[in-house]
Structure 1
Amino acid sequence: MSVNSQTQNQNQSVTSTVEKKQAPNAFVRWMRLLFKSKTGTFGFIIVLAVILVAIFAKFLAPYDPNMINPAAMLKPPVWVEGGSAEHILGTDNLGRDMLSRIIYGSQISLLVGLSAVALAGVIGVFVGLVAGYYGGFVDNVLMRLVDSFLAIPTILFALVILSIFGPSVTTLIVVLGITNWVQYARLVRGEVLSIKEREFVKAAKSIGVRDNKIILKHLLPNVISPFIVISTLSVATTIILEASLSFLGLGIQPPTISWGGILSDGRDYIATSWWLATFPGLAITITVLAIIFLGDWLRDVLDPRSTN
């Protein structure tokens, strides 16, 4: 008994040592692959910076973003003639600090982007798994539902729903979630149609494994990689949709701050005070490009045909 227990302890120690080595090695491998790609590195750094800015906005913003200062109305950026060192990116038509508003605007843009994509992903993955696995009548019904959603322009559908229920952060997240799930459903369904014909799925069916266990333990893990890629790219699209709806006045409402709302406020002054629309536009553009670059890198890394 003592020999057996000693052997078991040795095996456990060896196993734990191997697991500890594998985790850092996996992390190092991912970092190496990331820094091999210039666009991937740029995307990762910018996305990480935006996330940190959103988290620590309270500490980074020099002023209250909604503080009105009539004495500092429409002050240009500090490097422009007439600019003030107190307001690096200038002020808006109410004297509010532009840098502070852009910093706080990152919170809503990320919140809406990530939440809407998470909601759309849950719906789309569920529909895709069920349709692809069961096929037949279930597949036909669910795919016709997908086709009906594809026939409706996303922005038009969002405008109709928001005009009926009224604009708010929660409503916007739900609307963007239920209008973007179809791409996940189509992707997951296509993957499942291929995976369910493989030997390990047929073997699980032959020994009587329940359908829900096959879906969760065999099919779902195999569709995670393409799901992560498309989700990353969808965050960029959702941020643009949120900014577009806020620009039209049906998205985030004051006093809540979003980049689209700041852009909308500055459109009436673009001829005389260019910074009001330029800086939120740059924030949206750079963030979206960074997310796209990061998504492209993820697609290359997670592609099973990749030689990395």
Structure 2
Amino acid sequence: MSVNSQIGNQDSTVASSVKRTPNFFVRWLRLLLKSKTGTFGFIIVFAVILVALFAKSLAPHDPKMINPAMMLKPPVWVDGGSSLHILGTDNLGRDILSRIIYGSQISLAVGISSVAFAGVIGVFVGLVAGYYGGFIDNILMRLVDSFLAIPTILFALVFLTIFGPSVPTLIVVLGITNWVQYARLVRGEVLSIKEREFVKAARSIGVRDCKIILRHLLPNVISPFIVISTLSVATTIILEASLSFLGLGIQPPTISWGGILSDGRDYVATSWWLATFPGMAITITVLAIIFLGDWLRDVLDPRDNH
């Protein structure tokens, strides 16, 4: 084959890839619009992400500003037309809406970061255990079984009590408690994929194990990993809120949804809005993430496509 023909083939490949790129997004958009729950989940999750990114511009008040004159004011309370608190104020006169907006930053950051941390560990362990098998597989899987035997909330409470509650510590402890599910999933996929012809062919021509794992196995386990990690973000947000509610998660003055719930638990009978609105924020966000994860599972899992 001549050099010109090779260049021509490369140009046609680039051109075809450029043409396929819009079609790829159009296809995914059509698949998303076909699912009502998936569309709802995507819109809510996208909106929450935008709120977290532009919290400073969207928050109507300083979320940490204490105003004794505005303590425990109900929603949409107006003081002479100068102070509007759409969701009311808390026991220190702080605006609930502003605190929920800023709390989305920490809740999303902890949820996504801990899932990413857990995913790196779990995918690595699953790839190694599934590919090499034998003695290595037995050791790694016994380690996985050991972590599964420990209650997640109990391990988190002990870990946070020893090292002290903070955002980095919370991300680490949530990542350590959640990596086992990724390891089991990836290992199961690798056990099946490594027996296929393209992997055997790569081995037969002397391709290194590291290159086989990165080029052939890893791309084939990304789809199920994305699905389970999306669903895990919802679980992690709930777990972070639970720990913050118990006083072992995010500590003041850092704002989180669980912390706002904890501040309002003593006023539920008299000031219902303190716990209701942050609880609704957690519920709606978690449901949206679950709906989006279910849609991704239906789209990315070929066994469920008809």
Give the structure-1-normalised TM-score.
0.95
SS in 1 for 2:64: coil
Of 273, 276, 279, 1:275 maps to 273
- 1:307 CA displacement: 3.4
Q: Does 1:96 align with 2:121?
A: no
Among 105, 124, 127, which residue is 2:125 paired with?
A: 127
Which blocks of at least 5 consecutive residues in structure 1 are unaligned?
Answer: none
Partner of 2:147: 149
Structure 2: distance between partners of 1:193 and 1:85:
62
2:32 aligned with 1:31: no
Answer yes or no: is the 8 Å Cα contact 2:298–2:305 preserved in 1.
no
Give unmatched runs, 5+ long, in structure 2.
none
- Note the C-alpha offset of 1:7: 4.9
For 1:15-164, what aligned pairs fall within 5 Å after superposition? 15-78=13-76, 86-164=84-162
Matched AA of 1:265: D
Match of 2:196 in 1: 198
- The one-character-per-residue Cα deviations of 1:158-177 (angstroms, maximum 9, x if unpaired) are 00000000000000000000
Equivalent of 1:285 in 271, 283, 302 = 283
Residue identity in the other structure for 1:18: S
Contact 2:67/2:92, CA 8 A, preserved across alignment: yes
Give the 4+ runs in structure 1 shifted more than 6 A: none
Q: Does 1:186 align with 2:176?
A: no
CA shift digits 1:186-219 (9 cap, x unpaired) = 0000000000111111111111111111111111
What root-mean-square deviation, in Å, do the aligned CA atoms of Structure 1 and Structure 2 show? Answer: 1.7
User: Per-residue displacement from partner, 1:110-153 (whole Å, max 9, x unpaired)?
Assistant: 00000000000000000000111111111111000000000000
CA contact (8 A) 1:77 1:84 kept: no
Name the amino acid aligned to 1:211. Answer: D
Residue of structure 1 in register with 2:229 after alignment: 231
Alignment-mate amino acid for residue 263 of structure 2:
D
Distance between the aligned counterparts of 1:225 and 1:94, measured in 2?
46
Indicate if the aligned counterparts of 2:245 and 2:259 stay in contact, CA closer than 8 A: yes
- Count residues in correspondence: 304
Work out which of the residue numbers 272, 276, 299 in structure 2 matches 1:301: 299
Alpha-carbon distance, 1:79 to partner = 7.7
Cα deviation for residue 232 of structure 1 reads: 0.1
Question: Does the 8 A contact of 1:121 with 1:231 survive in 2?
Answer: yes
Q: 1-side partners of 2:3 and 2:116: how far apart?
A: 47
